[in-house]
A and B are shown apart, each in its own frame.
Chain A
Amino acid sequence: MAASAQEIELAQLIVTSLNLEVSADEIEPDAPLYGEGLGLDSIDILELSLAISKTYGVQLKSDDADNNKIFSSLRTLNEHIQQHRAK
């Protein structure tokens, strides 16, 4: 399934905040963000959490038991943000 407008906006935030060498439209909505796939590591996830907090007002905590699910792909991350966004 193609990326939605919200997913493309989030992909752009990921590319900008992490200075990625890919463009936003190259991020597959269902591909893994962490490790294999986009290749993000733990520092990237912390950096991204800060950018999401500033942009959407969604606090992502390092000890959240659902983190693996939330950060599993662009699609799941976007769903979590849209459900909890304050901005």
Chain B
Amino acid sequence: MKRLFVEGVGLLGPGLDGWSASRAVLAGKEAYLAAATNLHASDMLPAAERRRAGVPIKLALAVGQEAFMQSGCDMKMASTVFTSSGGDNDNVHAINGILATAPREVSPTRFHNSVHNAAAGYWCIAAESREPSTSLCAYDASFAAGLLESATQVSVEDAVVALIAYDHPYPQPLHAVRPIAAAFGMALILTPRQSEKSLAAIEVGFASGKVQESVMQDAGLEALRSGVPAARGLVLLQALASGKAAQVRIAYLEENHLDIRVTPC
């Protein structure tokens, strides 16, 4: 596949309060200390949207905004690919609770937030974007599906694409059957051409056959990577943070995977 370029990174997770603040931890130069994910509603949103924003919206906008701030790209003009295994899991839990009890009157705000592309909608309001937007889910392979879709769009459409991946835990009892370890989001600004802001070139290849995935060097970060679908992309951030050439492997659905070659710029 064609080379594309990473021009910005956004990150928000437990003990990972932004890409800039977490780079040394991901590169293994500083210890990883788990802490609650620092969630806040984006100041990019108008007041009405800000007060309706659930955890996924907070994650998606924070990482998207951080990634664009580093890049030379205009968020208004970029295509977006959002990917999440579950979407708004707090909202799913609350709506299930309402539907299980009479008179089954679902809150309009909860209904409004229940669609899988809610984050895309809030993002387009905040960024004032009318560019194409795609929202995906692919269970544990949600990050890989998002990266594959983004890389394809950059190559085929010759467009700047923001990939925004996020997931957060279900409350009980759903958590027991679909455990997601923490609230986590990450974003990549992917461009078709190198610029002075490019961090690295990446080539994304799709391959068949069950193979060993890349893992995180730190045990705590590895628990996060394996415990949150959106965090499967952490191995790519580990490679970017190291500043060295690397080959990263991320599992896709069934017995397929992505092979990603990372070359620093």
Q: Which residues of A contact B (CB under 8 A)?
A: 18-21, 39-41, 43-44, 46-47, 50, 53-54
Contacts and interface: CB of A to CB of B under 8 A. Distances in A.
Which secondary structure dominates chain A's binding surface? helix
Contact of A44 (B48, B50, B105): B48
B48 A41 contact: yes
Contacts of A50: 105, 107-108
Interface in B37-70: 47-48, 50-52
B122 to A, nearest CB: 13
A53 B51 contact: no
B29 interface: no
Interface residues of B, number: 10
Given A39-B47, A50-B105, 12 more contacts: A19-B51, A19-B52, A21-B47, A21-B50, A41-B48, A43-B108, A43-B109, A47-B107, A47-B108, A47-B109, A50-B108, A54-B105
8 contacts: A18-B51, A21-B47, A21-B51, A41-B48, A43-B108, A43-B112, A46-B108, A54-B105
B88 to A, nearest CB: 15
Nearest to A19: B51
